[in-house]
Structure formats: structure tokens, C-alpha cells
Copies of this chain bind each other. A is one copy, B any other.
């Protein structure tokens, strides 16, 4: 049965636990979910600067899980940070959370919307929508909820998200919703019930896509730009992360 790394690229362990639980709940019977986060980096990823500082720790976790022979890797952050770097590093397949949501949503809806946290994440998600080829059928909305507020008791996060989903249905003609933050992984069934449209969590979607790739024996192609990094020296703090000859 597949063993999958679900790596939360921020360092907030409670969020890692929540994401891990949601991933396990979404997995097929027998799939083993290994949920981890880096030791170093930002407590939440909200914009490009945070993203830059999550990458070394994220890639360290990918390398560690590779050495443990996991069958696949899920990057559990909706910005899909480090996805290409992880693909060149790993031999097992790698999937991003936004990627997973945006690959599955068009299978069940002609138009859909992403509801994310802060508006500063919108340009990154727009870029990913272009990359994943869904620009013309995907609206993107920000709920203006900081990532770590998603877990605060008494916070009105869920109501705020419901409101934004309702706008998406009415104004964007969205027929389904992709939740735009890995920290929302516990919400889809409640939101679907409240809003009357399918709600997709990218973490759950990613787990199922990885199970599929593993089951089909598909791994990242190494004949092009996802070939292993060229061996070379890294200096200073990062010396230990230098790519070695394969």
C-alpha cells in the first residue's frame, strides 16, 4: 500500500496535524500518510517572501522522505511552493495542493472558483491557474482571513468563507469550489452542505491523485527539466543540501 509524504511547508505543527488528519481521512484504506513540516521557516506562508524561506526546509523534507522510500509527495500549501524543485529532486511523483484542486475541479464543473485567504495570494494563484490551464474557467476570491486565524476558536472564518462562496456562485457562475488554503482541509464537507455545490480540498485531491499515479506506476520523467539537479558545491549554511552525483 502506498506511503505518502504530506509536507506542510510552514512550521506550525497544529496545522500539520490538521492537514495530516484530513489527508488520512481522504486516503484509500491502506494508504499511509506521513504528515510533516520543516523545522526552519515561516509559521505561515502568506506571499512571496514567506514562500522563499519555506523552500529549503520543504526540500529537506522531500529529500528525507525520498531516503525513506515513500511512494509520493504532496506539497500541502495552496501556493504550490517548490513544486518544480521537488520534482527534480524526487524519484517518486510530486503533486501540489492547488494543482490537485485545479486538475479535479474541471472533471465535475464547467466553471469553478477558488476561495483563498489573503488577497496578496491572488497573483500567485492566478499564475498557477495559467500554468494548470484553467484561467478561463476559474475565478479567484480572497476571504481576507490570515492563515493562522483559520484555527482560532471563535473566529468567524467559516462564515466568511461561506459568504465568499455564495458570491462566487452568484457572480462568477461557479458550479464548484476549490478551497484555496491547505489550512482549510477540514472544511469541505460542511461547506458543501451549507452552500449546495461540490467543495474540493486540494489536500484530499492530491492524496487521491498520488494514489492514482502510484497505482499506475507513473513517476516524474527524468529525461527533461525534471532531471536530477547537477552535482555542485553549495557554500555556507546550505552546504549539506548540495546535489550529489547520482
Contacts and interface: CB of A to CB of B under 8 A. Distances in A.
A28 to B, nearest CB: 6
Interface of A: 11, 26, 28, 38-44, 46-53, 55-57, 59, 82, 84-85, 87-89, 93, 95, 99, 103-104, 106-111, 119-123, 127, 130-135, 146, 169, 173, 175-176, 189, 196-198, 200, 204-205, 208-209, 211-213, 215-221, 223-227, 229-230, 232-238, 241-243
B53 A56 contact: yes
B120 A227 contact: yes
A93 B55 CA distance: 24
Contacts of A173: 224
Copies of this chain assembled into the complex: 6
B109 A47 contact: no
Contact of A89 (B49, B87, B127, B237): B49
Contacts of A99: 107
Nearest to A43: B233
